[in-house]
């Protein structure tokens, strides 16, 4: 259940009035999701999603919401935050920060094939290019600094061989981050969590078209290659073994490169970045699993999945060019 804070029809109507979106036709709580309160809002002016942010603060939100507005203005299929007459896009409802964004059409593609991967690869590259002139800056809050501070916190919950693996991988990534090749990686705003459940497709089975992507609340400025690695580790793997499906991965990278070719440094670091992306989600899943902050709000994902993915990426480094 993902309605932690109730919103009444009168409250929703007051927001619609402020945004000049006409009469409220229906208000429906969304069950999915574990972070925020979400409602589908049907209004005379269209279909929207109302989000009440349960953890993010008024200070943190402008980066995410303005990034979505920036990308939507450049033609990317991301939810556009609705603005009032003063241009404000962040509001307060029941004491929580709130925003109303466009509802994307379609549904998730949880068993993607080459065709879906190509579309996500191209969309990711378009997003990276469109974000280049985004003026706000926020680091990736789930980047190396967070891994370094969180690994010691989760270590006591791990078996000796897991503790050894996570510590060795963290040391490897710290060393990599200090290298000259890493400094050469192109950077900008990244989504950082573009998993299968954050992308929508619509259309007939076998011919689905990407209709948009959402959930920018882990976005931050980091290397574009890291974003690509996060995607490859979710869109292009066998979910049981964690093994990379090289056909899908090659198609994903080729579609990305049609829009933005990778540099030499990016090609060289891709195998290491696939490990970094696996480490990132292994740590966050361990953290959610062993140290739930508000237990009632969390249904943690399985950490063992990303431990398998990391072991796979170490055992079988994958270079996009090798095929
Ligand atoms: N802009 C949107 N357009 C269409 N559907 C949306 C939109 N935003 C959210 N949804 C729907 O609401 C569901 C929950 O949203 P989301 O996944 O962002 O939840 P959350 O609690 O905010 O975050 P998390 O995914 O981290 O749990 C999504 O699975 C999707 O079906
Ligand atoms: N995509 C993350 C959850 C955060 O939205 C995971 O699978 O661990």
Tell me which of 215, 292, 298 to substitute to probe ligand 1's pocket, judged by most ligand atoms within 8 Å of the beta carbon. 215
Tell me the backbone φ, ψ of residue 59, rounded to 5 degrees.
-75, -35
Segment 82-124, tens digit of pLDDT: 999 999 999 999 999 999 999 999 999 999 999 999 999 999 9
Nearest CA to ligand 2 atom 2: 193
Q: Which two tokens stand for residue 13?
A: 């109507």
pLDDT at position 33: 76
Tell me which of 51, 146, 193, 242 to substitute to probe ligand 2's pocket, judged by most ligand atoms within 8 Å of the beta carbon. 193
Return the ligand 2 atom nearest residue 35 CA.
Answer: 5
Does the pLDDT at position 277 exceed 70?
yes
Cα of 302 vs centre of ligand 2, distance in Å, is 10
Question: What ligand has the least distance to the C-alpha of 299?
Answer: 1
- Where are the chain's structural domains? 9-102, 114-315
**Coil/strand/helix, residue 268:** helix
Fold classification of 9-102 is Phosphorylase Kinase; domain 1 (3.30.200)
pLDDT band at residue 296 using 50, 70 and 90 as cut-offs: low
Segment 201-254, tens digit of pLDDT: 999 988 999 999 999 999 999 999 999 999 999 999 999 999 999 999 999 999
User: What global pTM score does this model have?
Assistant: 0.95
Cα of 168 vs centre of ligand 2, distance in Å, is 23
Cα of 214 vs centre of ligand 1, distance in Å, is 7
Nearest CA to ligand 1 atom 29: 32
Task: Please state whether beta strands 46-52 and 91-93 pair in parallel, antiparallel, or not at all (unpaired).
Answer: unpaired
Between CA 187 and CA 308, with CA 175 as vertex, the angle to 5 degrees is 85
Q: Is the ipTM of this complex over 0.85?
A: yes
What class does CATH assign to 114-315?
A: alpha beta
- Please give the Cα distance from 134 to 8 (Å, whole number): 35
């Amino acid at each position: 259940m993902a309605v932690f804070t109730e919103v009444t029809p009168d409250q929703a109507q007051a927001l619609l009035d402020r945004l000049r979106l006409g009469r409220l036709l229906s208000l429906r709580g969304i069950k999915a999701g574990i972070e925020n309160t979400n409602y589908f809002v049907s209004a005379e002016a269209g279909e929207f999603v109302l989000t009440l942010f349960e953890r993010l603060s008024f200070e943190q939100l402008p980066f995410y919401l303005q990034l979505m507005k920036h990308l939507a203005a450049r033609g990317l299929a991301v939810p556009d935050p609705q603005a009032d007459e003063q241009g404000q896009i962040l509001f307060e409802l029941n004491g929580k920060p709130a925003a109303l964004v466009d509802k994307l059409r379609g549904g998730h593609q949880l068993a993607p094939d080459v065709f879906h991967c190509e579309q996500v690869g191209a969309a990711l590259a378009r997003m990276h290019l469109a974000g280049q002139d985004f003026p706000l800056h926020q680091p990736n809050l789930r980047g190396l600094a967070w891994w370094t501070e969180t690994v010691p916190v989760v270590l006591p919950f791990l078996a000796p061989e897991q503790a050894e693996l996570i510590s060795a991988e963290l040391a490897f990534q710290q060393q990599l981050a200090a290298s000259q090749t890493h400094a050469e990686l192109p950077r900008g705003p990244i989504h950082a969590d573009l998993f299968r459940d954050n992308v929508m497709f619509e259309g007939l089975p076998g011919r689905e078209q990407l209709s948009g992507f959402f959930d920018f609340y882990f976005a931050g400025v980091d290397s574009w290659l890291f974003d690509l690695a996060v995607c490859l580790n979710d869109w292009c793997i066998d979910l049981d073994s964690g093994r990379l499906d090289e056909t899908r991965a090659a198609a994903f990278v080729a579609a990305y490169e049609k829009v933005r070719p990778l540099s030499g440094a990016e090609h060289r670091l891709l195998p290491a970045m696939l490990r970094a992306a696996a480490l990132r989600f292994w740590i966050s899943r361990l953290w959610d699993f062993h140290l739930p902050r508000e237990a009632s709000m969390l249904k943690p994902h399985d950490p063992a999945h990303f431990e398998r993915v990391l072991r796979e990426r170490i055992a079988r480094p994958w270079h996009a060019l090798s095929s």
